[in-house]
């Protein structure tokens, strides 16, 4: 009987989603307008002065990828046009508003990824212009749901949780093969994306898809909450975790740190790692609170793994700064990561099974 009531409430909730809330469209319109204005301004200044003098940017920043800023300026101006078309489409509520918004924001995301790879560093301007793009993606997803079957869309979003973990495992197997001398047993995952590492570019690109898949899963958890406060908080924390990880400061290679070549990014890298652990445990706690006792016990067991292998990781981590051997550091860290990835898979399956039981009943 309870399952029938829950499912009936869920169908009523889905029926209410016949139109995107006005505040979501307003936010999306503001973001598209903001990004379009920035693209037009930046693109125009770069085209008028390909040497970058109007923006106080030396051509050397591009490390020889482009001779000057003319082509990047044209591309940036083109993104402004694309975002303008998306703005008009969302404003007029056309049938392709979701596609145009996704295309415009996707183009900007690719722009930022390529830019960061070329510059080999993060800048505060990336946050100023990049964070709104991520927020735009969050309010674009409901547009997609409005053009498709809502329940099927939620299932797809939940399945993204499983895909995200499998993808992360895959890139952890593939990327180290592109780094001569790298050992997954003794070196950390972060050293694959360290400043100066030969795999930095490929890791950043492949890891972006992981975060996008996990963010989609977080949205699926939110949409599956149906009034469940714990699930709503868990979904929100997953999305916040992804946004934070888009701006994870890179570390330097351990030999550079040991020689005194480290910088603020190395300190922030450690801060981000601590915040990530906190986010993981919080979202897992709220997720477990929304499900049955067996899943809660499984979550507690995962926390124990975090604590045990977190301590083991901490005991060997000073070897990075001293450029000393860390014989098991890669193992301990990957066990912790694997525990979280597995938890996401089990959590996603549990939510999918919960939904299937509602549909059967």
* 26-62 pLDDT, tens digit each: 999 999 999 999 999 999 999 999 999 998 889 988 8
Supply the pLDDT for residue 36: 96
- The residue ranking higher by pLDDT, 270 or 46, is 46
pLDDT of residue 51: 93
Please determine, for residue 165, whether its predicted confidence score (pLDDT) is greater than 90: yes
Choose between 18 and 334: higher pLDDT.
334
* In contact, 336 and 317? CB cutoff 8 Å: no
| Crossing angle of helices 70-91 and 97-119, rounded to 10° | 150
Reply yes or no on whether the pLDDT at 98 is more than 60: yes
Mean pLDDT of 53-82: 90
Instruction: Please answer whether residues 217 and 348 qualify as being in contact, where contact means their C-beta atoms are separated by less than 8 angstroms.
Output: yes
Domain-wise residue ranges, the chain: 18-147, 156-361
What is the model's pLDDT at position 120?
67
User: Kind and range of the H or E element at 66?
Assistant: none
Tell whether the model's pLDDT for residue 80 goes beyond 50: yes
Give CA–CA dist 39/41, Å, rounded: 5
Task: State the pLDDT confidence band at 265, using cuts at 50, 70 and 90.
Answer: confident
- Are 287 and 300 a contacting pair, CB within 8 Å? no
What pTM does this model have? 0.69
pLDDT given for residue 291 in this prediction: 92
Given a cut of 60, whether residue 5 has pLDDT beyond it is no
- pLDDT mean over 168-191: 92
- Examine the pLDDT at 209 and tell me if it is beyond 70: yes
The answer, yes or no, to whether residue 153 has pLDDT greater than 90, is no
Residue 76 to residues 46, 56, 83, 287, 339: CA-CA distances in angstroms? 9, 17, 11, 41, 41
Q: What is the pLDDT of residues 289-303, one digit of tens each?
A: 999 899 999 999 999
* pLDDT confidence of residue 345: 96
**pLDDT at position 217 over 50:** yes
Mean pLDDT, the chain, whole residue set:
86
Question: Does the structure show a pLDDT above 80 at 85?
Answer: yes
Q: Residue 348 corresponds to which tokens in the numbers above?
A: 């996603």
Contact 32, 90 (CB under 8 A): yes
């Amino acid at each position: 009987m309870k399952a029938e009531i829950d499912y009936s409430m869920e169908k009523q909730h889905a029926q209410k989603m016949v139109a995107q809330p006005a505040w979501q469209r307003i936010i999306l319109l503001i973001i598209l307008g903001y990004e379009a204005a920035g693209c037009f301004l930046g693109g125009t200044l770069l085209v008028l002065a390909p040497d970058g003098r109007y923006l106080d940017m030396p051509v050397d920043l591009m490390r020889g990828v482009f001779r000057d800023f003319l082509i990047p300026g044209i591309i940036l101006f083109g993104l402004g046009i694309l975002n303008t078309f998306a703005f008009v489409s969302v404003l007029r509520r056309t049938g392709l508003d979701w596609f145009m918004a996704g295309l415009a924001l996707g183009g900007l995301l690719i722009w930022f990824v390529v830019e960061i790879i070329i510059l080999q560093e993060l800048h505060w301007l990336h946050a100023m212009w990049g964070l709104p793009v991520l927020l735009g993606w969050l309010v674009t997803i409901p547009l997609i749901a409005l053009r498709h079957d809502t329940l099927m869309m939620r299932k797809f979003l939940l399945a993204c949780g499983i895909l995200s973990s499998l993808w992360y495992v895959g890139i952890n197997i593939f990327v180290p093969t592109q780094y001569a001398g790298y050992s997954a047993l003794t070196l950390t995952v972060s050293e694959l994306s360290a400043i100066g590492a030969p795999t930095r570019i490929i890791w950043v690109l492949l890891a972006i898809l992981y975060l996008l898949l996990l963010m989609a899963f977080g949205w699926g958890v939110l949409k599956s909450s149906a009034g469940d406060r714990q699930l709503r908080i868990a979904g929100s924390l997953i999305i916040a975790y992804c946004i934070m990880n888009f701006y994870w400061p890179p570390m330097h290679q351990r030999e550079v740190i040991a020689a005194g070549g480290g910088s603020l990014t190395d300190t922030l890298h450690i801060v981000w790692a601590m915040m990530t652990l906190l986010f993981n445990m919080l979202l897992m706690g709220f997720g477990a609170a929304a499900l049955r006792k067996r899943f809660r016990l499984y979550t507690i067991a995962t926390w124990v793994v975090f604590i045990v292998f977190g301590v083991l990781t901490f005991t060997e981590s000073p070897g990075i700064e001293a450029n000393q051997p860390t014989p098991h550091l890669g193992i301990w860290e990957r066990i912790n990561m694997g525990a979280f990835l597995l938890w996401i898979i089990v959590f996603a399956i549990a939510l999918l099974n919960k939904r299937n039981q509602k549909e059967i009943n």
